[in-house]
Amino acid sequence: MTTKILALTDALGNLVRFRLMPGQRHDSVEVPPLIDGIAFDGLIADKAFDSNALVAELNDRGASVVISQHPGRALKLKIDTDIYTWRHLIENFFCKLKEFKRIVSEV
């Protein structure tokens, strides 16, 4: 059995909130509880989070939607490619987690 980590970071890549979920669960299912009660201006995510329900919720909040899209998406979303380049901060956060995993497994 595998476990997924879903993380919400701030604009600097610092952890704000996280959720653990079963490896077989779709990523976008856990986003509403992850962002509940948190104010933000935009969400940067990869195509695993490309769902109409999530896009609708972000639009209702007035947040910018910067999500890489599945190639087969019927209605393409306009995304700000300049903002999307900041996604590396989230990737860096997960790299830090992997470093800690390596430290723990070596002890």
Domain spans of the chain, in order of start: 3-106
38-48 pLDDT, tens per residue?
999 999 988 88
Phi (first) and psi of residue 85, to 5 degrees: -65, -20
Best CA proximity match to 48, nearest among 19, 98, 6, 2? 6
| Residue 102: per-residue pLDDT | 65
Confidence band (pLDDT; 50, 70, 90) for 73? confident
Average pLDDT, the chain: 86
What integer is the mean pLDDT of 8-18? Answer: 91
What integer is the mean pLDDT of 46-57? Answer: 89
